[in-house]
Amino acid sequence: MNTNRINSWLPSANMAGCEFPLANLPYAVFSSADQIHHIGVGIGDKIANLNALEEAGLLDSLDQSLRDAVKQSALNQLMGLGHKQWHALRLRLTELFSNSVYQDKVEPCLIPQSEVAFHLPCQIGDYTDFYTSVHHATRVGSLFRPDNPLLPNYKWIPIGYHGRASSIRVSGEAFKRPAGQLKAPDAERPVLELCKRLDYELELGIFIGKGSQLGTPISMADAEQHVFGVSMFNDWSARDIQAWEYQPLGPFLSKNFFSSLSPWVVPMAALEPYRCDWTRDAEDPQPLDYLDSKANRTKGAIDIKLEVWIETAKMRANNQPAERLAKSNFKDSYWTIAQMVAHHTVNGCDLKPGDLFGSGTQSGPDLEESGSLLELTVGGKNPITLSNGEQRTFVEDGDRIILKGYCGDDQLRIGLGQVDNLVQAGNKP
């Protein structure tokens, strides 16, 4: 069913520029007046309570396992059912929201998005952060190794590290500036102080659906059958803490203090029309066989437009709108989602429903397409001047950082929602 050509009986879902048209149908977990967490689906400016749809008998044609899954308080059970069941639910929801014969029964199950509270979409068991933008890796590497910005393994394997899942939160939460050990290059001893070089990272969050067995690698052919959907993700970073701690084992306290997700998970089916070819420069090493396939080369990349916005305390005080700092596109990623899954499991590592991958900071080829302030300011050497005259080298207390993502254009847009968080002053150690 080509939902790009179908309208909904809900007017807001058909408006130009709507983030959640019938072709999207993203999932979220929300609560309303009853304070109970429910699974919902975004349609227009509403969210449909799937438990209410099931109780109304509108999902009776679906398998019992699927009907049970949509009544849960998190998406994990639904994620674990696999592609066939996800497809069946998507077809039924499309039918309910497009055929006016169902309108009278469906409307009582709809709630304005503005009237609900959002929560993490699932219980995140494990979190892996990748490093898939060669443009980001090159610009950051050049700050520390001008003559050799990329390490020898970068173009051979999707680099990643295992992060902390407990400190991942949903969009809208404020957090305090972290503290940690810092050491100036000319200092004799490190000190315990508040981070001075707080940064955002513009990333895509990738949610695993159907899990895998320990000891059983996932092939490129099957990789995306294990991916439930994507979300916007901000992997906040304390650059000065990171600079002191990252050798020899990589990030620790510089990354685990706070990370944030959009509440919406866009199913892979909604992204299908925006797939494009993935290429590797002829001069670069070509992937090993387990990371290569014809399908990945013809449609492994996805045209997802990504943006970073800032709203400072001064902007809020003067009723000024947020200002865009940068934009980039996920199609410029050096490694694809399928390659991340295949590499993650080639050693036999098992995946579970609700596991989260971070794509790594998504930066484009030009400096203004940088997905972090570390890049935009060239390591803090070139401050950015905002339209109101304020300058930024890194994120300051009172700043609100907003990440947005979408496919398509103003006529038909598949929105990933947004993740925005306010930085508060930290507690001095």
**Catalytic positions:** 136
Q: Parallel, antiparallel, or unpaired: how do β-strands 384-385 and 127-130 relate? A: unpaired
85 is in an annotated binding site: no
Radius of gyration of the chain (CA): 22
Residue identified by tokens 């092939």 is 219
The gap between the terminal CA atoms of the chain, to the nearest Å, is 58
Residue 270 exposed, middle or buried by CB count within 10 Å (0-12, 13-18, 19+): buried
173 is in an annotated binding site: no
Answer yes or no: is 242 a known binding residue. Answer: yes
Rounded Cα–Cα distance for residues 217 and 210 (Å): 14
Q: Is 203 among the annotated ligand-binding positions? A: yes
Q: Is 201 annotated as a binding residue?
A: yes
Q: Is 259 annotated as a binding residue?
A: yes
Q: Which residue has the tokens 């700092």?
A: 325
- Rounded to whole angstroms, the Cα distance separating 315 from 91 reads 44
Any residues with CB less than 8 A from the CB of 42 and at least 6 apart, and which?
Answer: 19, 20, 24, 25, 26, 27, 28, 48, 113, 264, 417
Q: How many residues are there in the chain? A: 429
Asked whether residue 246 is marked as a ligand-binding residue, the answer is yes
> Has 255 been labeled as part of a binding site?
yes
Distances (CA, A) of 226 to 79, 183, 213, 218: 9, 43, 12, 9
306 φ, ψ to 5°? Answer: -125, 145
| CA count, 13 A, side-chain hemisphere, 181 | 11
Burial of residue 382 (CB within 10 Å: 0-12, 13-18, 19+) is exposed
What are residue 204's DSSP bridge partners? Answer: 232
Pinpoint the alpha helices (H) of 207-345: 239-245, 268-271, 294-299, 313-317, 337-345
Q: Spell out the residues 6+ positions from residue 55 whose beta carbon is closer than 8 angstroms to its own.
A: none
Residue 72 labelled as part of a binding site: no
* 413, 406 contact by CB (below 8 A): yes
The H-or-E segment that residue 93 falls in is helix 83-98
375 is in an annotated binding site: no
Query: Is there a binding annotation on residue 361?
Result: yes
Instruction: Give helix then strand counts, H and E, for the chain.
Output: 12, 26
Q: Are 235 and 361 in contact (CB under 8 A)?
A: yes
Binding residues for Mg(2+): 235, 255, 259
Binding residues for Ca(2+), as ranges, are 129, 201, 203, 235
Binding residues for substrate: 131, 145, 242, 246, 361
Residues making up the annotated binding site are 129, 131, 145, 201, 203, 235, 242, 246, 255, 259, 361
